[in-house]
Amino acid sequence: FQSKDGKTPLHMTAIHGRFSRSQTIIQNGKKEEGVFLSSAFQRGIHGMFPLHLAALSGFSDCCRKLLSSGFDIDTPDDFGRTCLHAAAAGGNLECLNLLLNTGADFNKKDRFGRTPLHYAAANCNYQCLFALVGSGASVNDLDERSFRYMVAYVNLNRCLEYLLRNDANPGIRDKQGYNAVHYSAAYGHRLCLELIASETPLDVLMETSGTDMLNDSDNRAPISPLHLAAYHGHHQALEVLVQSLLDLDVRNNNGRTPLDLAAFKGHVECVDVLINQGASILVKDYVVKRTPIHAAATNGHSECLRLLIGNAEPQNAVDIQDGNGQTPLMLSVLNGHTDCVYSLLNKGANVDAKDKWGRTALHRGAVTGHEECVEALLQHGAKSLLRDCRGRTPIHLSAACGHIGVLGALLQSASSVDAAPAMADNHGYTSLHWACYNGHDSCVELLLEQEVFQKMEGNSFSPLHCAVINDNEGAAEMLIDTLGGGIVNSTDSKGRTPLHAAAFTDHVECLQLLLGHSAQVNAVDSSGKTPLMMAAENGQTNTVEVLVSSAKADLTLQDSSKNTALHLACSKGHETSALLILEKITDRNLINATNAALQTPLHVAARNGLTVVVQELLGKGASVLAVDENGYTPALACAPNKDVADCLALILATMMPVSSSSTLPSLTFNAINHYTNTSKTVTFDSLPIMRSDHSSYCTFNNIGREGGYPYTEEDELNDSDSETY
């Protein structure tokens, strides 16, 4: 009988040490022809036998009785562990000695290469460890991961002392390159380090255990014991290490020193120990050339920061730059650590220092919206109108990111020095452009309260264009209410109105808002396109429906290539838009209107395989004999290439009866002789879009976390332009 996890009654008695019951089961098993006796040889969970469980739980009487059943003492479970492994892990000396005296193999390894001594040491079972070593167990065996017995788990001084006294070698490394010193440092076992140091000087051990990976080709540890103790905050262990390991500025693979790691984690005691022993404060890592001061500032460890800058040359340390030109002040502001900001400012940090992109700490505060940090910077004289490499001030950035509190503080600061906050960036965009583009209504409202923003300045792709193209109806309405309805027909450098922008992006609410304020529905841009043409060519069916139905857009207008809205809808295969336009056309002349290539809508629709549109065109009287500039009828326009069109023309010429009044043969042969390009289509410049959206600003502090560090080189902000919609 077995439970769901495979335990028999004998397993249960072994687990709970019921000696009398196990004796009864075994005796009764003999009477019942071995039914219960076989339980001693049945596996339970993880393939363990009753003897495994009894040894693990420390029930020596059960072990004796189970051994009397004739069980093979070295039979392993599913993980290769024998009963002696179980006894060593459980720590019961009586069970362990019983198994040893019965002949258990004390050097037998499990599936992970571990002997019973590994388990005794890992669980700090000193008496079991003593018994196994006394029986001859090897103290320097490595398991599959190359761990020896003397790892960090051996935190009992007696175990370590006994192993060392029995010739355990503390310099042997595992597969990761770590030795006993590394593990003791990582787990903060000061007494273990002192014991090891009393046997062999630590600097001698580390000569063979790899403190400098850069010059070693063998399997050396990637970091030193100093790094491990500093990172985990074990200052007492660190105190032992610094007495013997003289190179306190040893670097890991990324060039980070123990002091760097301690500052990064905020372990003040470790920072203090390392500084007092002479660790360098201004040493830079290999990745972004950051110092321990940068590390402390990034994570907001103000005590560590004060300790570091207090023990460094103030003027050199407080404004030291990393590889991107970032100072500790910039990183503190970026991450919103107000205490660190004040500490650095009080030490004389340059409040207007710039990084390699020309951005100051105030630019970072504007992006992240940390109002207290911004207030601290302004109190110390930070300039709110300094431009970065793209001409953007902190006011631009706060408006773009929607930080109303920061924006208000910056505007107030700018007004106090009689500066003009409406200045445009390198692409002509003002703070109002950015706030409208990203739909930050509260910022738009605040900016419009400033007299300087109550007139259209900067890029002709106006704030209203910016609001409409991103469907920010609230911002658009505020602009119209404040600046007047005249702005709805303002044009950009390519002659496009806000209505063009709304039509291009199919933002119907903004479209209706503009139409409600007398926007010119038939306004044409520099390429002759109306808002309807924009919508038709881009398949914006909702906009097309509004413009042809309620707005009564003129369907006869043609662009600079003489395309009507119907031509453009068909040219891009937008069947629904074409049908909406067709529904409103009754004039056969408009149905057969030709563009600059002499193509009718039927030519274009047929060429693009718009079956329903072709059917509607034919039903409205579209000419099947109209020829384009290549001499092709709509039927020939369906051909995928010139050769197919020529073949089709020959076949049609042969099929048709020839008469003096027939024009078809001459048309088809004319097509063959004058073919140029059957796929000639019309293109137009797309509407503008400000490519540098607010996400590039708001991810300003999404800095890589390589190696556990939260900052690497910043992503450069994208260009903003008005060349593509």
Instruction: Give the pLDDT confidence score for residue 54 in this predicted structure.
Output: 85
Q: What is the CATH number of the domain that holds 557?
A: 1.25.40.20
Mean pLDDT score, 227-243? 94
What is the pLDDT confidence band of residue 703, given thresholds at 50, 70 and 90?
A: very low
What is the pLDDT confidence band of residue 620, given thresholds at 50, 70 and 90?
A: very high
C-alpha angle 70-113-108 in degrees, rounded to nearest 5: 30
pLDDT at 719 over 50: no
Instruction: Give the pLDDT confidence score for residue 208 in this predicted structure.
Output: 56
Distance separating alpha carbons of residues 550 and 564, to the nearest angstrom:
19
Instruction: Give the pLDDT confidence score for residue 197 in this predicted structure.
Output: 75
Instruction: Give the pLDDT confidence score for residue 390 in this predicted structure.
Output: 96
In 426-560, alpha helices (H) = 431-437, 441-448, 463-469, 473-483, 498-505, 508-516, 531-537, 541-549
Q: Are 13 and 24 in contact (CB under 8 A)?
A: no
Which is more confident, 409 or 185?
A: 409
With 0-12 / 13-18 / 19 or more C-beta atoms within 10 angstroms meaning exposed / middle / buried, residue 442 is middle
CA distances from residue 452 to 112, 431, 432, 722 in whole angstroms, order as listed: 75, 11, 10, 23
The mean-pLDDT minimum among 211-220, 548-557, 599-608, 620-629 falls in 211-220
Mean pLDDT score, 646-658? 79
Instruction: Give the pLDDT confidence score for residue 65 in this predicted structure.
Output: 80
What is the pLDDT confidence band of residue 147, given thresholds at 50, 70 and 90?
A: low
Residue 672 maps to a domain: no
Instruction: Give the pLDDT confidence score for residue 642 in this predicted structure.
Output: 82
pLDDT in tens, 308-336: 999 997 667 899 999 999 999 999 999 99
What is the pLDDT confidence band of residue 686, given thresholds at 50, 70 and 90?
A: very low
Instruction: Pull the structure tokens for residue 145.
Output: 């991961």
Whole domain around residue 576: which residue ranges?
528-625
Residue 587 maps to a domain: yes
pLDDT at 358 over 90: yes
β-sheet bridge partners, residue 689: 724
What is the pLDDT confidence band of residue 677, given thresholds at 50, 70 and 90?
A: very low
Which is more confident, 235 or 150?
A: 235
Which is more confident, 643 or 431?
A: 431
Q: What is the pTM of this model?
A: 0.74
Residue 562 maps to a domain: yes
Instruction: Give the pLDDT confidence score for residue 653 in this predicted structure.
Output: 81
pLDDT in tens, 545-604: 999 999 999 999 999 999 999 999 999 999 999 999 999 999 999 999 999 999 999 999
Residue 145 maps to a domain: no
pLDDT at 532 over 50: yes
Mean pLDDT score, 219-239? 88
pLDDT at 63 over 90: no
What mean pLDDT is reported for the chain? 82
pLDDT at 149 over 80: no
Mean pLDDT score, 677-699? 36
Percent of the chain at pLDDT exceeding 90: 53
What is the pLDDT confidence band of residue 466, given thresholds at 50, 70 and 90?
A: very high
Instruction: Give the pLDDT confidence score for residue 705 in this predicted structure.
Output: 34
Mean pLDDT score, 294-306? 97
pLDDT at 216 over 60: no
Q: Are 355 and 326 in contact (CB under 8 A)?
A: yes
Residue 201 maps to a domain: no
User: DSSP letters along 270-321, please?
Assistant: HHHHHHHTT--SS---SSS---HHHHHHHHT-HHHHHHHHHSS-HHHHHT--
pLDDT at 684 over 60: no
pLDDT at 665 over 60: no
Amino acid making up residue 597 = A
Percent of the chain at pLDDT exceeding 70: 76
Residue 542 maps to a domain: yes
Q: How many domains does the chain have?
A: 1
What is the pLDDT confidence band of residue 60, given thresholds at 50, 70 and 90?
A: confident
User: DSSP letters along 202-232, please?
Assistant: HHHHHHTT-S-GGG--SS--SS-HHHHHHHH
Instruction: Give the pLDDT confidence score for residue 158 in this predicted structure.
Output: 59
pLDDT in tens, 64-85: 888 887 778 888 989 889 999 9
Instruction: Give the pLDDT confidence score for residue 2 in this predicted structure.
Output: 45
Listed in order, strand segments (DSSP E) in 12-60 are none
Distance separating alpha carbons of residues 454 and 451, to the nearest angstrom:
5
Instruction: Pull the structure tokens for residue 507.
Output: 């933002």
What is the pLDDT confidence band of residue 169, given thresholds at 50, 70 and 90?
A: low
Instruction: Give the pLDDT confidence score for residue 673 in this predicted structure.
Output: 44
Rounded to 5 degrees, φ, ψ at 102 are -85, -5
Instruction: Give the pLDDT confidence score for residue 221 in this predicted structure.
Output: 62
Residue 109 maps to a domain: no
Residue 559 maps to a domain: yes
Mean pLDDT score, 604-631? 95
Which is more confident, 669 or 521?
A: 521
pLDDT at 482 over 80: yes
pLDDT at 419 over 80: no
Instruction: Give the pLDDT confidence score for residue 313 in this predicted structure.
Output: 77
